[in-house]
Structure 1
């Protein structure tokens, strides 16, 4: 007999970015012979980025349940314009102006845990009265936004629905996520976040996280079973042979103000100054939404003439850019609070078979994966040995021998990761 599962997710095509792909791919590879899948999504959401190319990946043999959402961002945009859109995309500048500070305070203290709380309430009401849901075997909630988990918390505590197994999937940590410090939380708001996080972690039947560090953090907060299922890739792996073209270092994805590795820009500037041939060959390519702070830092370092800004690109184009780059840049915020963050693009970087330069905090989970797969080199923000490594990459490029990794990365394929999920659903 088929198992009946309901998945509640805010991010779903046509939303762009890595958050949408995790459950889109799980749904793709879950056997429709074994599972009857219902996906609960918002109707008419205000997504910060759109990628219509993902619409074609939605399986036809699943049930979509759309619940109306009233996005606070729409009302705020009428009052404050483009500033709201930037905050939606995570653009918190290092020195925010008065208006940004007001918007951050509103976001942090008026919407707990986040601005989709009202939608989560509507989802609760919809599922509470859904006859098909009453017969469900499993409910899955995935956050951020972490308000989605409140749907599971409330339904799990409902007397007639408590038999339904609840899996809470955390794509990012909750109270230790890096941007919380920027939200100007009052003591009462911070306490409320901790209370809600504790209730979710101690009530869910099973917890899924995307990194070992998040598992270690949550293990101190609950005795419930915690399983690590990372993000992954779902494409044919590239050849490890170097592509033609300039010596292009590419970062694919959002680059926020807090991800501004000044030592990288300084190192590249020195190489450009010291080696005219490097200067002629070198290109710094950024695809995705990039903070003005980062762009300014690059230009101040004297790299403006080497900078190629592509803006947001759809997923297919992003993969193509990975394949065509000589070296891929993976940059994380320099904070112990981000050591648990494993960007979804890392796994597509691995499948792209291009050398990776990772930059972030010491002892991060990213560093461990790069070592395990021999896919690149990791550096902290002190930049030690970074210049030497880039020079070595460049010398290999000139000899047409800049090859990527050829290690076995199949365990990170979405199909293999889905089997881990199946094991949980059947346990």
Structure 2
């Protein structure tokens, strides 16, 4: 859906872009891909990146004349951006975090992206909007200043995560520093026209934190690309295994939730689960089980299989062959939904969601997926249901077409006309 009011041109500001990968480049790689099919040109101002990450979405954006990349210097030493995080890279990163880059690695990028945006705004055809996607949050203050210089251009901040997730890492225990960052965020939001977030929870929290910007907030969900899952055909959806795939970083809170699941499995002690239920972790993190009881360590050996991170196309095939997708969510991050949830749905997997109740988890539960909080007493009934519903006799319905990227692209274009 394309409005006649639109010029069909977007200027995107994103510190990370192909060939840099990670989940931070996925959202707008997908949007740019589907916007191009609506005739919309996306010009991307990004930081140059001297490596090529193994997990990337370059296939969605390369070779497309409607997606134009403008790379600038990053303002951060290239050798410290090496995806191989050896001792020297970690030490150098910590040093800069304590000195010149206390916010994030993009803190020196502002002058470069602002200069590139000015040239594009003044020398080319008009844009429908200039959109900054964050993190990296240090780009917010210069973006707000840029918006003030172009009152006739629509400026939008697109949050993949709220800055509040990262404030403890920046401010440590110093509330004055956290207050400083919040003030910078407030000033930037005052200068822009719209603020996009990915969930209702995030919108409500930011409306509370920044009531003066309440009318600017819009929800533009994350979602799945149906073209990534061509193998999710009806005949392949009847999966009799009990493999639960869990890709992603295994931070401490997620490990705690996994351990709680292991304790619940020990309590249930169901023969079907004992013999067949297995969690397949795809992560670069090796779980540190020091400090946990011996029974948990034994349960980990029985129920968990550890794998290296794989490219998106490989993960899509793995999900298509696995019955479950496992989400280990954390209460501290309840304002967003792990993007893997949408891939699980696209692959025809049943979702096992363990974490705080959210808008999306409630929708999942209504459609027959498995949801529980991260407590043993809550997980035990869930595990009994898993065992009772094995083997699977019917494929799950595609009950969430609204989370497909083509549908979300229509929503994006509608927001540009408001």
Per-residue displacement from partner, 1:387-416 (whole Å, max 9, x unpaired)? Answer: 23223323432x443x45314311111011
C-alpha separation in 1, matches of 2:66 and 2:75: 28
Could you say what secondary structure the match of 2:410 adopts?
helix
Kindly indicate whether residue 106 of structure 2 is the aligned counterpart of residue 113 of structure 1.
Answer: no
Which residue number in structure 2 is paired with residue 54 of structure 1? 58
Matches within 5 A, 1:23-422: 23-31=28-36, 34-44=39-49, 49-52=53-56, 54-58=58-62, 59-72=64-77, 74-75=79-80, 81-82=86-87, 103=94, 107=97, 110-130=100-120, 131-132=122-123, 135-158=126-149, 161-174=150-163, 176-177=164-165, 179-183=166-170, 184=172, 186-220=174-208, 221=210, 222-235=213-226, 238=232, 239=234, 241-244=237-240, 246-260=241-255, 261=257, 262-271=259-268, 274-275=269-270, 278-293=273-288, 300-335=297-332, 338-361=333-356, 363-372=357-366, 374-397=367-390, 399-401=391-393, 403-422=394-413
Which residue number in structure 1 is paired with residue 11 of structure 2? 6
C-alpha separation in 2, matches of 1:207 and 1:291: 37
* Contact map agreement 2:141 2:185 (CA 8 A) in 1: no
Q: Name the TM-score, length of structure 1 as normaliser.
A: 0.82
* Contact map agreement 2:352 2:370 (CA 8 A) in 1: yes
Per-residue displacement from partner, 1:306-333 (whole Å, max 9, x unpaired)? Answer: 4221111111111122222222210112
Query: What displacement does 1:182 show?
Result: 3.8
Seen in structure 2, the aligned counterparts of structure 1 residues 382 and 71 have a Cα distance that, compared at 3 Å, is: same
Query: What displacement does 1:242 show?
Result: 2.9
C-alpha separation in 1, matches of 2:58 and 2:112: 26
C-alpha separation in 2, matches of 1:43 and 1:359: 38
Seen in structure 2, the aligned counterparts of structure 1 residues 391 and 82 have a Cα distance that, compared at 3 Å, is: farther
* Contact map agreement 1:283 1:308 (CA 8 A) in 2: yes
C-alpha separation in 2, matches of 1:82 and 1:423: 47
Seen in structure 2, the aligned counterparts of structure 1 residues 422 and 301 have a Cα distance that, compared at 3 Å, is: same
Which residue number in structure 1 is paired with residue 3 of structure 2? none
C-alpha separation in 2, matches of 1:74 and 1:276: 51
Could you say what secondary structure the match of 1:267 adopts?
helix
* Contact map agreement 1:5 1:136 (CA 8 A) in 2: yes
C-alpha separation in 2, matches of 1:308 and 1:357: 17
* Contact map agreement 1:355 1:404 (CA 8 A) in 2: no
Query: What displacement does 1:265 show?
Result: 1.5
Query: What displacement does 1:116 show?
Result: 0.4
* Contact map agreement 1:202 1:224 (CA 8 A) in 2: no
Segments of structure 2 that go 5 or more residues without pairing to the other structure are 1-5
Query: What displacement does 1:3 show?
Result: 3.6
Segments of structure 1 that go 5 or more residues without pairing to the other structure are 86-98
Query: What displacement does 1:169 show?
Result: 0.3
Number of aligned residue pairs: 397
Seen in structure 2, the aligned counterparts of structure 1 residues 212 and 294 have a Cα distance that, compared at 3 Å, is: farther
Could you say what secondary structure the match of 2:112 adopts?
helix
Seen in structure 2, the aligned counterparts of structure 1 residues 15 and 229 have a Cα distance that, compared at 3 Å, is: same
Per-residue displacement from partner, 1:85-112 (whole Å, max 9, x unpaired)? Answer: 6xxxxxxxxxxxxx89x93x96377535
Q: Name the TM-score, length of structure 2 as normaliser.
A: 0.84
